[in-house]
Amino acid sequence: MSAPVLQVGGLALAAGDIVALLGGNGAGKTGLFETILGFRASVRPVHLFGRDVTGWPVERRVLAGVGYVPEGRRVFAGLTVRENLEASSSLVPVERRRRVEEMLEMFPMLGERPDARAWLLSGGQQQMLALARALMNRPRLLLLDEPTLGLAPLVVNDLLSRLGPMAAEGMAILVGEQRAGLVLRVAQRGLVLSRGRIVRSGTASDLAADPTLADLMAGA
């Protein structure tokens, strides 16, 4: 049996998993992402791809195969779509250019405006850019923090519909969300976080049917 793609505390993801990390504001979702990435020190070991990376810096973890879409997108506002993608890649120049073209083809709304400055894009376009940027280095683990925040329903559906095919290719995906009903439609299982602790876990269908879910997410 292969080692988990990610293991920290009571959280473990295998290749092909889509796991919903649920919780309200202040539940600790962003803190957990920062711990996995190395932005925040951890008292618990962090294992990525079968290796203890607890002492690794952020850059080494990313290069090992972690992609991150932060809350609020945080694209490089003054750079073009193409420049944002290029700046996020560690590939050699020829491969980088090829990968940029793949991203522009994968995300048509970006392919239509490759030379537009990021600050001129709509919220949905910026979120797709943030996702494309996270995929530039072909990560094996993708972390998404509140990816549906402030997006129109059509954009949300487009975004979430992309997760299944990526997981089918072997990527492990962890999605932090407050909108449980949305992400549980595409996840296989979920965890409820409250004050930095896992207070409930189960299959996506069981959590979606749990009448206490809203109270758990609110920290009640």
CA geometry: angle at 70 spanning 68 and 75, to 5°? 95
For residue 159, tell me if it sits in a domain.
Answer: yes
Residues in contact with 129: Cβ distance below 8 Å, sequence separation at least 6, in sequence order: 73, 75, 81, 84, 85, 107, 110, 118, 121
Instruction: Write the pLDDT tens digit of every residue in 81-98.
Output: 999 999 989 889 999 999
Instruction: Write the pLDDT tens digit of every residue in 169-187.
Output: 999 999 999 999 999 999 9
For residue 209, tell me if it sits in a domain.
Answer: yes
For 31, phi and psi rounded to 5 degrees?
A: -60, -40
For residue 162, tell me if it sits in a domain.
Answer: yes
Provide the domain count of the chain.
Answer: 1
Query: Is the pLDDT reported for residue 26 higher than 90?
Result: no
For residue 26, tell me if it sits in a domain.
Answer: yes
Give pTM, 2 decimals: 0.93
Residue 166, amino acid: M
- Per DSSP bridges, beta strands 197-203 and 189-194 are antiparallel
Could you tell me the CATH number of the domain that includes residue 162? 3.40.50.300
Lowest mean pLDDT among 15-19, 33-37, 149-153: 149-153
Name the residue with higher pLDDT: 100 or 71: 100
pLDDT band at residue 218 under the 50/70/90 scheme: confident
Summarize the confidence of residues 50-58 as an average pLDDT. Answer: 95
Domain that holds residue 47: 6-74+138-217
For residue 158, tell me if it sits in a domain.
Answer: yes
Q: What is the share, in percent, of the chain residues with pLDDT greater than 90?
A: 81
Query: Is the pLDDT reported for residue 202 higher than 90?
Result: yes
